[in-house]
Amino acid sequence: MQVNTEKELVRLRIALFIGALIVACFMVADFFLLPSALHQLYLYDRLLIQIPIILIAIVLSFWRHFSHYRAYIFTTLLVALTYSNYWVIWVCWQEYQFAFPYEGTILYAFYCVFALGIPFRFAITSAVIDVIGFIVVMWLAPAYGDRIPISLGFVAASLFTCSYAKYRLDRSLSLLKKTNDRLTKLSKFDPLSDLLNRRALRNQSENLLAYAKRHKVSLAVIMLDLDDFKAYNDHFGHQQGDEAIRQQSSILRGIFKRETDIIGRYGGEEFVVVLSDVNEEQLKQSCQKILLGWEETNLAHAPNAAHPFISCSIGAVITNTPGDASIDSLIGVADKALYKAKDKGKACYELAAL
């Protein structure tokens, strides 16, 4: 269970604060029920145990490792609140033969599990601990008399129902997150090559261009296209053609590994790579590596293709002053260079001058 945003932390602190307020409200209401002899003991439990425990949880929410230990902290809070209640039940009965006409254990569980978001595993563990505690208290201080079995039944059934509801909720949320992740992937990635699709490629390239402008570093665009791919498809079939597209993706992934490198399928058998902070020499070496990648793959081409083995042609452009450029204009220049590479006989690269 991760607390991802500052907003979520604020919401949790508000929920904890409301918890402290609820305890205070019950404190006032209980005062009308309790014999005056019990007031001091009761105040001691609420003001020196329960409310401070909740305040400690609020303070801990400012700890930088809080997100990591959140489930443990809230489970401890739940068990501590419940057991401090058991202590009051026990002392009130032991010392004054006073029995509360209601049972608050269930409310604590619902508050911690749903308002504070204790996950299922922790909820079920605390339910077991709380039920055991309830049995022990009723054994030591049979405050509820004949109602003990039914009270125990209500406490146990409610705590387990609460845990099961949390299980269903956690499961639905996890399914929803998985579906969401899948949809995000589908909207960003091309399913065949598993590279960025054209729209995501464009968005990310815009961001990289903004980064290059801000940090005054170079920006390069490489555009490549499989050679005589129609002939390849016609000769070997579309499925084999798809394999070649996957192979091109794997070659590019093997070369462009920096976190900032952007690789995308521009459309059909065309791919685009956008790089920041590279020099002309490095750009040429990268183009050379792509060509070498295909040479090493050694995949036989169709008999009527320009080359015996499958290859690609590359057009590239680099700007050291990205402040003047736009992604569309750079892609346009790289595209023209690509056509020059095709004209030169394919299986080669052409670096455009801006």
Ligand X SMILES: Nc1nc2c(ncn2[C@@H]2O[C@H](COP(=O)(O)OP(=O)(O)OP(=O)(O)O)[C@@H](O)[C@H]2O)c(=O)[nH]1
What are the DSSP calls for 266-321, one per residue?
Answer: EETTEEEEEEES--HHHHHHHHHHHHHHHHHH--B--TTSSSSB--EEEEEEEES-
Q: Is 171 in the site for ligand X (CB under 6 A)?
A: no
Interface with ligand X includes 312 (CB under 6 A)? Answer: no
CB of 318 to ligand X, least distance (A): 23
Q: Which part of the chain contacts ligand X (CB under 6 A), choosing from 24-32, 145-153, 228-236, 279-287? A: 228-236
Among 30, 45, 269, 335, binds ligand X (CB under 6 A): 269
Please say which residue, 30 or 269, places its beta carbon nearer to ligand X: 269
Nearest alpha-carbon partner for 104 in 163, 151, 42: 151
Least separation in angstroms between CB 186 and ligand X: 16
Find the part of the chain contacting ligand X (CB under 6 A) among 17-25, 155-163, 203-211, 234-242. 234-242
Name the residue among 118, 9, 116, 7 with its Cα closest to residue 61: 9
Q: How far is the CB of 315 from ligand X (least distance, A)?
A: 12
Nearest CB to ligand X, comparing residues 183 and 192? 192
Helix 198-215 × helix 327-343 angle, to 10°: 110
Does position 233 interact with ligand X (CB under 6 A)? The reply is: yes
Residue choice 228, 290, 294, 317 for contact with ligand X (CB under 6 A): 228
Q: Which stretch binds ligand X (CB under 6 A): 3-11, 68-76, 194-202, 239-247?
A: 239-247
Residue nearest to ligand X (CB): 241
CA dist 140 and 143 (Å) reads: 9
Query: What H or E segment, with its residue span, contains residue 265?
Result: strand 262-267
Q: Does 241 bind ligand X (CB under 6 A)?
A: yes
- Can you give the C-alpha Rg of the chain in angstroms? 34
Of residues 54, 222, 226, 337, which one binds ligand X by CB under 6 A?
A: 226
Q: Strands 312-319 and 262-267, how do they pair?
A: unpaired
342 is a contact residue toward ligand X (CB under 6 A):
yes
Confirm or reject binding of residue 144 to ligand X (CB under 6 A). no
Considering the rule CB under 6 A, would residue 190 count as an interface residue with ligand X? no
86 lies in the site for ligand X, by CB under 6 A: no
- Nearest-angstrom CA–CA distance, 124 and 196: 43
Q: Is 242 in the site for ligand X (CB under 6 A)?
A: yes
What is the rounded distance in angstroms from the CA atom of residue 103 to the CA atom of residue 86? 10
Nearest to 294 by CA among 197, 201, 228, 195: 228
Any contact of residue 268 with ligand X (CB under 6 A)?
yes
Contact between 45 and ligand X per CB under 6 A = no
Measured from the CB atom, is 45 or 269 closer to ligand X?
269
Residue 345 found at the interface with ligand X (CB under 6 A): no
CA distance 346 to 341: 6
Number of residues lying near ligand X (CB under 6 A): 16
Beta carbons of 59 and 9 less than 8 angstroms apart = no
Residue 18: what residue type?
I
Q: How far is the CB of 231 from ligand X (least distance, A)?
A: 6
- Number of helical H runs and strand E runs in the chain: 12, 5
Q: Of 149 and 308, which has the nearer Cβ to ligand X? A: 308
- Identify the sign of the CA torsion 343, 285, 354, 278: positive
Q: Which residues bind ligand X (CB under 6 A)?
A: 192, 225-231, 233, 238, 241-242, 245, 268-269, 342
